[in-house]
Amino acid sequence: MILTNANLVELTQRRRRSAQARVLTALGVPFRQRPDGSIVVFESDLHAPPKERSAPPALRLR
């Protein structure tokens, strides 16, 4: 399950995507960014112990 934008705002207390990303990073919550810049957080990652959380995808540079 993916968190909704309202859930992200409630979790981070921020509305801007860049600010949400900073807060999620500070909290150690893994997230991904879509091509349009929106943030995706899987609900299972919030409840999983840190060792069982999914790793963010590797950055591919060409």
Length of the chain: 62
3-state secondary structure of 42: strand
Mean pLDDT of the chain: 86
What count of Cα atoms within 13 Å lies in the side-chain half-sphere of residue 41?
25
Q: What angle do CA 21, 32, 2 make, to 5 degrees?
A: 100
Question: Is 41 inside a domain boundary?
Answer: yes
Question: Is 61 inside a domain boundary?
Answer: no
**What was the pLDDT predicted at 51?**
67
Question: Is 42 inside a domain boundary?
Answer: yes
**What was the pLDDT predicted at 4?**
95
Domains in the chain: how many in total? 1
Share of the chain above pLDDT 90, in %: 60
Question: Is 22 inside a domain boundary?
Answer: yes
What pTM value is reported for the model? Answer: 0.76
29: its two tokens: 């919550």
Domain span including residue 44: 5-52
Question: Is 59 inside a domain boundary?
Answer: no
Which DSSP symbol is given to 16?
S
Asked if residue 11 has pLDDT above 80, the reply is yes
Question: Is 39 inside a domain boundary?
Answer: yes
